[in-house]
A = this chain, B = another copy of it.
Amino acid sequence: MRRLVARCAVVLALIFGAAPTLAEDGYDLWLRYHPLSAAQKADLPSSVYAEEGDATLRVAADEVTRALAAIRGEPVVRTSGAAPRAILLGTANTPRVAALKLPLASLGEEGYLLRTATVHGQPTTVIAANRPVGVLYGAFALIRRMQLGQPLSGLDIVDRPRVKLRILNHWDNLDRSVERGYSGQSIWDWWRLPDAKDPRYIDYARANASVGINGTVLNNVNAKAESLTAPYLAKAAAVADMLRPYGIKVYLSARFSAPIELGGLKTADPLDPAVRAWWKAKADEIYRTIPDFGGFLVKANSEGQPGPRDYHRTHADGANALAAAVAPHGGIVMWRAFVYAETDPEDRAKQAYTEFKPVDGKFADNVLVQVKNGAIDFQPREPFHPLFGAMPKTPMMVEFQITKEYLGFSTHLVYLGSLFAETLNADTFAKGRGSTVAKVVDGSLDGHRLSGIAGVANIGNDRNWSGSVFDQANWYAFGRFAWNPGADPQAIAAEWAGLTFTPDPAFVRPVTQMMMRSRQAAVDYMTPLGLAHLMATGHHYGPGPWVSDLSRPEWNPTYYHRAGADGIGFDRTRTGSNAVAQYAAPVARRFADPDKTGEDLLLWFHHLSWDRRMADGSTLWDTLVRRYDRGVASVDAMRGQWDALRPFVGSERWQHTASFLGVQAREARWWRDASIAYFQSVSRRPLPPGTAAPPHTLDWYKAQSFPFAPGN
């Protein structure tokens, strides 16, 4: 084998010419099909059997064949007859599968069954499902097992997604820029579509299907009306055609005022018959172009976007107008609850609840309300959004941000699995203990037919897709949590690391530890103790806790931390904004009491004296400083761990990650120093003993500027 590889290294050069192709640049993501040791692969099947009339079954069989050949290091037989050690893929319509009389009923539309069975007297690995897409998901599940060197003998696994709509939101503009994108331009090359169909879209589909993502919103929620014109629908249709075999539906963000901009109407009032007719005709046109179009995502009356409130209509009125247009075609509407108004003096964290809770029950059957995980805006840490559990008559999607607008862009290593789990496991107490956000979102708490999870994609045209290798883990984890909101973030991290680098436990164990620590590290060096939104203006790169001059009060960091001579934190108890009252009583009671809130969310809910004693007897001020230091130390520790892992990782991906960890270490210090310099100017307290003073003056930190930051 070694000789073969050596000879092949030459042939590689023959075939590819230039060495760069040889380097592992991260393009393969977690679909990195590498050879196993002889012992591990002895057990593996050597042939693949599938009926291939269906496009999805065909891509499932192709993927299993490709993976198996690479992992075994030998050609794989694609057979249409009996074969020893075969993998058999199929639905109940596949005669060989039907003959096995497998218990497929419980799998639903998208579940799958993996089982070791005897077919024609031969031991066979069966991937079965009710529909081809279930087979595809089963194929990827089996491939994962093979990649990780897990045994295939005696398999008996059933799995199905708990959430119906597992959707990426691309904040991708039609000019190919990406709002809050840190990995190059949009992968959607709108200008060249529909003529040029980038083969990369197929790899995008493979990656998403491999983690169960079944929908993608192609364009930014800050939508241009042009995305609904015929030329752009043809472009979207070309993408939809490529994604369809992988079980992925295309959705579009719709601009609420499109009837005016495209239709020439004088109004976009959702109750106006002409407006409703326009949306109906537009939906009909879309479905003629994309027969399985998923539906619309809408950001309305939010940060300057038009919406039904412009016509004194409710969000339900607005959503229902679009919902009526797509309903005949089986489409849905995802209506975002991210609203706040500069004219509203109410605590920004309260506004979405105030506006949406009263319209619970008013939405059409095919509308979901899409709610960010927290009430502000994708901060390093927020309590769960009070709308979860508060609108039992409405299917509620959670929206996570996979791209790290507030978490160090694609440069900082921050594993978001922990953040996803923290929100999903939070207990709303809406129907008593155990009413987790996960159960709200998967529809089980209130018995909804529709359910969904959305993730704002971190995908761009960078060769490695996500800007960094470790940001691929956040895409991966999003998909796995969307499939199962009760998943374990640590297990997902370990799985991803095993697939992406090597399943060697000597690698997986420490790297998983790094990943699991990483989010708390970012919280500590950016916004410890429940602080939030302290980032610099606009691009949100770096610290700006001193910023207080923006036109809208709730855009200013000082709005959030409220630091003064007396103390720090936003009082959201009854003595303050009383945002705690938006939560169910047991939660509200906990958040109302600083002794029970917990350190993680302390200053989110409470304004406290700098000298307040924490549980360990330290003052709040001293604890704040020490949290910053802890964050910096955690990043230094990650760098050390990564250095030690060099032997396990190919040079290009190791170097890339190491250089980013260097940036993160520098920027963690900057965050710490700038924040302490500022807060000390307010607290006027000495630094705790043994703590280093910031190396520059506060004015120096304030004077730093970062033009041309990406994603802005």
Contact = CB atoms under 8 A, between A and B. Distances in A.
B14 A18 contact: no
Given A18-B66, A66-B19, A73 B10 contact: yes
A206 B20 CA distance: 11
Interface string A28-41: 10011111000000
A411 B10 contact: no
A662 B195 contact: yes
Given A12-B12, A199-B23, A461-B461, A191 B709 contact: yes
B28 A14 contact: no
Nearest to A541: B191
A33 B17 contact: yes
Please tell me how many copies of the chain the complex holds.
2
Interface string A3-15: 0110110111111
Contacts of A206: 18
A66 B197 contact: no
Given A33-B13, A184-B185, A195-B660, A18 B461 contact: no
Given A192-B411, A662-B195, A21 B27 contact: yes
A70 interface: yes
A710 B200 CA distance: 20
Contacts of A12: 8, 12, 15
A276 B662 CA distance: 38
A654 B191 CA distance: 20
Contacts of A35: 14
A659 B196 contact: yes
Interface in A650-668: 652, 656, 659-660, 662-663
Contact of A20 (B74, B185, B200): B200
A41 to B, nearest CB: 11
Contacts of A16: 28, 70
Contact of A199 (B8, B20, B200): B20
A108 interface: no
Nearest to A185: B185
A176 interface: yes
Nearest to A74: B10
A700 interface: no
B20 A11 contact: no
Contact of A14 (B73, B192, B411): B73
Nearest to A467: B192
Given A13-B66, A195-B660, A659-B197, A174 B708 contact: yes
Contact of A461 (B7, B14, B71, B184): B184
Nearest to A657: B196
Contacts of A15: 5, 8, 12, 34
Interface residues of A, number: 64
Contacts of A20: 27, 199-200, 202-203
A175 interface: yes
| Most central of A5, A173, A185, A200 by chain B CB within 10 Å | A185
Contact of A17 (B70, B191, B199, B200): B70
A622 to B, nearest CB: 33
Nearest to A16: B28
Contact of A28 (B4, B17, B199, B656): B17
A555 interface: no
A18 B195 contact: no
B4 A18 contact: no
Given A11-B73, A199-B23, A461-B461, A710 B32 contact: no
Contacts of A11: 4-5, 8, 73
Interface string A223-257: 01010000000000000000000000000000000
A463 to B, nearest CB: 8
B32 A18 contact: yes
Nearest to A62: B19
Contacts of A224: 707
Nearest to A6: B75
Nearest to A25: B199
Contacts of A656: 196
A429 interface: no
A334 interface: no
A411 B226 CA distance: 22
| Most central of A11, A23, A71, A461 by chain B CB within 10 Å | A11
10 contacts: A5-B14, A8-B11, A10-B74, A12-B12, A17-B31, A17-B32, A18-B27, A25-B199, A195-B663, A199-B652
- A-B pairs, top 10 by smallest CB distance, nearest first, are A13-B70, A17-B33, A14-B35, A8-B8, A17-B32, A8-B11, A174-B708, A175-B708, A17-B28, A18-B28
Given A19-B66, A195-B659, 9 more contacts: A5-B11, A13-B69, A16-B28, A18-B27, A18-B28, A20-B203, A21-B27, A196-B656, A226-B707
